[in-house]
Chains A and B, each alone.
Chain A
């Protein structure tokens, strides 16, 4: 699939594209010199920006407003800006009364573990499949690829049963973060992404290092890893965002409220918590991803553009 090309060529291409400002799209420079075209594009642009602001940004602004309002104001006058004044107290109240602080900490832990194990599996596996290539690598690659085509619903129940009593080890992972970290690390998509990237690296570098006496680990640590920053970035972004958004799985394997991440915790209290505190909690759980997104928007959009197609 074309969407799985390694990152550097793509990045290089967009760099040259930025440099070459005369790069055309459907509408050519000649078209743009025509008045009707200019006017139409401008009108379309304005319409699109306004519509996107209202539809995409509007709900978030409203959430921000609601997070600092009284429950009364939220329910009675949803469009008014703080008729009873700004309630800064909502944020610390949500933090302590509905334990948003605890959920936030759990979410960060979950994301950190998913990130670490996701990278570990994807990088070592990708290295094995694309660089070391022992004879069994083809089998492993095929078996990894196969899981990509099996819908997640197949293994939901049996995965839960597995986590409840891990075969051979006989441990129960329910109510530990391992139950979220390890299954999320078994991501065929990440392994494939990394393997494709490694396959695009120059082979003679690895071979030269091997001849100089570097072992499997040395080549991985000192040569492959420093070259794989782009793919590490993409995989990190995808795993952290995915773990932050996860709901059903943590709901199943983390029944203890002390361990639940934000999404599960907010769902659990959503029926009983006061509306303003719920909104404040939701706002807190949105702020971090949104700020990260705004700071790293280029990386987010690039990895979504090239990776999202297969992820579905």
Chain B
């Protein structure tokens, strides 16, 4: 349209409006060196102040609440501080104290077990559901609404609700089902071996919907020619699922796997509200330990040191993971 005619009739561009360069630089002054005052003046004339004002909300909030805290944790981790007395520099002693805490290895084990279980229980389910849901025509909307419904529930409410379901008496919701089947009632959150699996089931319930919707969106954008071609070649529905759908989803699946791993390694709300770390510290997670160091013991340096260690661990994990999967997806 208009921009087309403009580019086509390039020669008589004299009457076309001159398009000034984006930045504050006024045109035609390229060669000459200007004094700082003149540069400032032209910056102001070019709308530089207004531009800066536009950036202010971002610069202020990120400066105060994103960039500074990251720098601050690098300071705090090397200080002994309870926020009341003057902080003192202590070198690596916070890290030494963290690593010497026997509870650290319990928490690490619990968190890793949580992450593994969450992957085993919660990972394949959304993929499967999305693959089936993509084939539905009339019921796709209603099934996606149902699948996403638990995601809308605030986590604390969801945890408190499931805590009620896990009621250990024989009239508890789950136990009354067991009793009807002739099975002894179970102390879901009281038995050391069952506590983490019970929490994983609840958190899978609460979060599987997000993953399902994301996979569904990815499935909807698979180019249909791929299916057409496979069908012409005589591939059955299951073969197409295996050789077209899943390979096309691979990028999303790999990303979601990493994100879920990073997310579950920072799990806090579920065990904190459900069990408070018990029984016998079997549900204490790494982030709960950070919380305890800071807000129960008032040892902010130690808490920061642990959170930094966790972050470095997660960073390494992501790097290794991305490296491995890149190799794998190339082959």
Contacts and interface: CB of A to CB of B under 8 A. Distances in A.
B227 A26 contact: yes
Contacts of A120: 57
A2 to B, nearest CB: 8
Given A140-B58, A147-B62, A245-B154, A216 B17 contact: no
A294 to B, nearest CB: 7
A285 B259 CA distance: 28
A52 B135 contact: no
A158 B304 contact: yes
Contacts of A312: 259-260, 262-263
A300 B148 contact: yes
Contact of B69 (A59, A75, A155): A155
B92 interface: no
A167 B64 contact: yes
- Say what secondary structure dominates the interface of chain A: helix
A144 interface: yes
Interface residues of B, number: 113
A199 interface: no
B278 to A, nearest CB: 13
Contacts of B260: 312
B54 interface: yes
A162 B176 contact: no
Interface stretch (A82-90, A183-191, A226-234): A183-191
Contact of A127 (B54, B144, B252, B291): B54
B244 A285 contact: no
B65 A305 contact: no
Nearest to B259: A312
B70 A158 contact: yes
Interface of B: 3, 17, 19-20, 22-24, 47-48, 50-59, 61-62, 64-70, 72-73, 76, 83, 129, 131-136, 139, 141-157, 160-162, 164-165, 167, 169, 171-173, 176, 205, 209-211, 213-214, 216-217, 219-220, 224, 227-228, 231, 237, 240-241, 244-245, 252, 255-256, 259-260, 262-263, 266, 268-269, 272-273, 287, 290-291, 294-295, 300, 303-304, 307-308, 310-311, 314-315
